[in-house]
Amino acid sequence: MLVGYMRVSTDGDRQVLDLQRDALLQAGVDERHLFEDHASGSRGDRAGLAKALAFVRPGDCLVVWKLDRLGRSLPHLLATVNDLKTRQVAFRSLTEQMDTTTPQGEFLFHVFGALAQFERSLTQERVNAGLAAARRRGRRGGRPVAIDPEKLTAIVAALDSGAAKAAVCRTFGVKRSTLIDSLARIGWPSGSTVHGDGRDETPAIDGAPTRRAV
């Protein structure tokens, strides 16, 4: 079965949506098996795509008008197509004439995967080179210190004398999350101890689509 997916960035792109619909119907996709999104390609929460991916079954083929209709980036496109492959679902892009059921289409996706890995390697190399250069100049990476050393010293002294974290936050004008993070950075030994009114304990953290097009 052919399953079609369409996407436009805004509701005003009606002409583009009609172009995609006509192309998918001409390719043999049934009108009842079309899914669509009106959202930017950079968004990861596309309801229409999620429904299409949940709808396809082994032996089906997901069809799009162009590659950029499916993936918000090259890594996302590769991850989506690879996921389809593990589920024994084929993929076809009409504009690029790409079809993973053919040797040529399979080879092209291997090339895309190699290019994505190459891009990740270059990015990591640039990051490491930048950090090394910063260290040679006496700078360290990471987030800036949220609480200056003088204030943090006073805060630790107050906590060691029995003050509650809530009271310290009010007195010194810092957020509780910032305080806890700063204490963890310096390895404050009493970080897990309950002080004062006992309110410093860390709270606990709480805790198949049908096969039809919508």
Tokens 């198949």 locate to: 208
Residue 9 annotated to the active site: yes
d(CA 109, CA 37): 24
Given the residues 9, 161, 177, 182, the one annotated as active site:
9
For 61, counting Cβ atoms within 10 Å of its Cβ (0-12 exposed, 13-18 middle, 19+ buried), the class is buried
97: left (phi over 0), alpha (psi -120 to 50) or beta: left
Contact 78, 15 (CB under 8 A): no
**In 73-175, alpha helices (H):** 74-86, 103-136, 149-160, 165-172
Residue 62 contacts by C-beta under 8 Å, 6 or more apart in sequence? 3, 4, 5, 52, 53, 56, 70, 84, 89, 90, 91, 92
Q: Token digits for 49?
A: 């795509």
Catalytic residues: 9
